[in-house]
A and B are shown apart, each in its own frame.
Chain A
Amino acid sequence: MGLTFPLIATVTWGAALAAMTLRRPVHSALALVVAFLGLAVTYLTLDAQFLGVVQVLVYVGAVIILIVFVIQLTRNVGLPSESLAVRPAVVGVGTAALVTGGLISCLVASPRFHIERSGEGTAPVKELGEALMANYVVALEGIGLLLTVALIGGVLIATRRPAKKGS
């Protein structure tokens, strides 16, 4: 095992930690960009080139841009930053640490997961496209429908005028 994976893993995890702990939402979004890029590189080390490109396109290109837009739209000048900070953190962090510790102890204890990869595991884009158009065509149509509904629903929810008080 070279130095590549520990480096990528450290950068990704550190960026994710920064995204969840930084005080300003814009800084969090920028840290999240680094985390998503690190995940894309991890996909590349797993021979999933297409998924790495999709990760950059969808998450860094679309989701983060959307999040930054919403951060700018909902910026509240008068709001003290304290009220956006961490709430009784012990419960949340304790729960997360408990779940993570349990999962990691299972992971390390079980020999089932200590597998080396074997053979050439490349999936060319052509093969992916053929699988999408043959075996998974219903799921593909379903996800198209889901995205359309999400688009219409998002526009409807975000543009509806709030009701007047007392009406």
Chain B
Amino acid sequence: MVPLHHYLLLSTLLFGIGLGGVLTRRNGILTLMGLELMLNAANLNFIAFWRHQPSPAPADGLLFALFAIGVAAAEVAVGLALIIAIYRRWRTVNLDVPNRLKG
């Protein structure tokens, strides 16, 4: 059986990749993908801790991950809508170009 810290190592590495992507990519869509990777790493932590708890308790950890998936879906919908709005205004998805809050 795989011990807990292997799963935590995998999720840490995924989180690091997502963080590096968010900090280095200019394309707004790629930035959103990095965010999704970081959220997925957190979900992996929830499920790994749920499975390795001493007493097999109710499915609280699973439900936490389930709600996190729902919130991430809402977030990606709004984020992509923002990217489309930016594209319609500036004809680019480069996040360095939009520099004014007034449309």
Interface residues of A (CB under 8 A from B): 1, 5, 9, 12-13, 16-17, 19-20, 25, 28-29, 32, 35-36, 39, 42-43, 45-48, 50-51, 54-55, 58-59, 62-63, 66-67, 70-71, 73-74, 76, 79, 83-87, 89, 91-93, 95-97, 99-100, 103-104, 107-108, 113-121, 123, 127-128, 131-132, 136, 139, 143, 146-147, 149-151, 153-155, 157-158, 160, 162-163
Contact B4 A115 (CB under 8 A): yes
| Distance of A16 Cα from B21 Cα, bound (Å) | 10
| Distance of A28 Cα from B19 Cα, bound (Å) | 15
Across-interface contacts of A127 in B (CB, < 8 A): 58-59
Q: Closest residue of chain B to A50, judged by CB?
A: B62
Interface residues on B, range: 35 or more
A62-B73 contact, Cβ under 8 Å, with A46-B51, A79-B92, A83-B26: yes
Across-interface contacts of A73 in B (CB, < 8 A): 84, 87
Across-interface contacts of B24 in A (CB, < 8 A): 20, 86-87, 89, 92-93
Q: How many A-B residue pairs have CB under 8 A?
A: 245
Contact A20 B17 (CB under 8 A): yes
A67-B32 contact, Cβ under 8 Å, with A17-B17, A35-B37, A147-B70: yes
Contact B83 A1 (CB under 8 A): no
Across-interface contacts of A93 in B (CB, < 8 A): 20, 23-24
